[in-house]
Amino acid sequence: MSVPTEGLTLGAVSTIVEKKILTNKIRIYRPGEPVFNPDTGQYEPGPPVTVYEGPGAIFPASGPSVVLHLAGQAYVDDTPSRYRLLTPLSAPVASREDTVTVVEADDASAVGRTWRVIDIGETSTLSVVRTTWVDQNTQKTGTAT
């Protein structure tokens, strides 16, 4: 197989995309190990474990999705607010039910919103960024504070 001698390599494209598109700071985290509370005698969720914090971007997936229901049952990942999380290929792969939050962004209304990972990151032989499907948990209305 020959090596291309002209044009951009996938690595060069990845670098451009990371600098020009992955301009927000995002955090991916999951629940920590349960911790025993001696006052209640119950196990409670432990502090969240950060899986990744760094450059990323969140994009709507072209508007609300429509999934047909069979016999009145919702599809397991039916969501009206499907988004795509983009992260560098060097970022760890998120797992189902991880939570994503925007830590820093030019759009102040995006900061603090959270999404639930609904599928692990997609992969392909021509990837320049990792795409992960997420469902928005929180929405804000009005002006940013």
Tokens of 2: 């020959």
Note the pLDDT of residue 92.
92
Note the pLDDT of residue 17.
85
Of 23, 22, 24, 27, the C-alpha closest to 98 is 27
Tokens of 70: 């069979």
Q: What pTM value is reported for the model?
A: 0.75
Q: Label residue 145 by pLDDT band (50, 70, 90).
A: very low
The β-bridge relationship of strands 114-117 and 130-136 is: antiparallel
Note the pLDDT of residue 93.
92
Tokens of 91: 């970022």
How many percent of the chain have pLDDT more than 70?
A: 77
Q: What totals of helices (H) and strands (E) does the chain contain, helices first?
A: 1, 6
Q: Label residue 144 by pLDDT band (50, 70, 90).
A: very low
**68 vs 29, more confident:** 29
Note the pLDDT of residue 11.
81
Contact of 120 with 50, CB cutoff 8 Å: no
CA atoms within 13 A on the CB side of 48: 13
